[in-house]
Amino acid sequence: MKVVFLDRDGVINEFPGNGNYVTKVKDFHFIPGAVDAIRRLTEGGYKIFIISNQAGVGKGVYSLDKLKRIDRHMIKQVMAGGGRIRKSFYCTHRSDAGCDCRKPGIGLLKRALKSLNKTITHAQKAFFVGDTEGDIKTGHNTGCKTIFVLSGREDRRYMRKWDVKPDYIVKDLSAAVPLIQNENSRHPRNRRGRA
């Protein structure tokens, strides 16, 4: 099963800053190389899902309709670049909502896998790429191989305090692609790459 779960802000598009949200299409800016990275994964036969917390909707900072517009724009630009995002799954709840879909909860991954007629046990062959401890914990909680990118919210300094460490650390999504393509049969679990 060739599946890659991607966080959005800080992985695909530029991180808007702590406490801020991408609220309009004009504020959505791809990280250099991200569209091409998704194209390479698509051409490699990977099914790509977006798994992202967007609590700004639950807080009333922006509407669900605006989130959908931003998502459509992202998917359209990725398609124009030769890639394909199979589907985006967003948690729009506030952090105090107690839902199971907000990362590091695994509700969104379960929904993504269900769309493939797979269960959470199949996640062990998947990859989760993110830029925060919550992303890495989400991947860890489902058995995914985890890749931490340094293009977003958190960096190596944050990682010193983490309970769970990523399998790999890379500069950005573009640098993650060769790891994903080669890791299945060549690299043992829990080997940490370096950016």
Q: What is the pLDDT of residues 126-141, one digit of tens each?
A: 999 999 999 999 999 9
Active site residue 36: no
Predicted local confidence at residue 184, as pLDDT: 55
Higher pLDDT pick, 189 / 158:
158
Per-residue pLDDT tens digits for 1-38: 799 999 999 999 999 988 899 999 999 999 999 999 99
Please tell me whether residue 187 adopts helix, strand or coil conformation.
coil
pLDDT, mean of residues 140-150: 95
**What is the C-alpha to C-alpha distance for residues 54 and 71, in angstroms, rounded to an integer?**
12
Per-residue pLDDT tens digits for 113-122: 999 999 888 8
Predicted local confidence at residue 61, as pLDDT: 96
CA pseudo-torsion sign 107, 183, 36, 85 = negative
Predicted local confidence at residue 161, as pLDDT: 87
**Annotated catalytic residue: which of 9, 71, 135, 172?**
9
**What is the C-alpha to C-alpha distance for residues 151 and 180, in angstroms, rounded to an integer?**
17
Residue 185 has pLDDT above 80, yes or no: no
User: Percentage of the chain surpassing pLDDT 70?
Assistant: 94
Q: Is 0.85 surpassed by the pTM of this model? A: yes
* Token pair of 33 as six digits: 């190389």
**Annotated catalytic residue: which of 7, 71, 135, 167?**
7
pLDDT, mean of residues 152-164: 87
Nearest to 192 by CA among 154, 136, 151: 136
What are the structural domains of the chain? 3-186 (3.40.50.1000)
Residue 106 has pLDDT above 50, yes or no: yes
Predicted local confidence at residue 179, as pLDDT: 94
Confidence of residue 189 (pLDDT cuts 50, 70, 90): very low
pLDDT, mean of residues 61-70: 97
Active site residue 9: yes
Predicted local confidence at residue 132, as pLDDT: 94
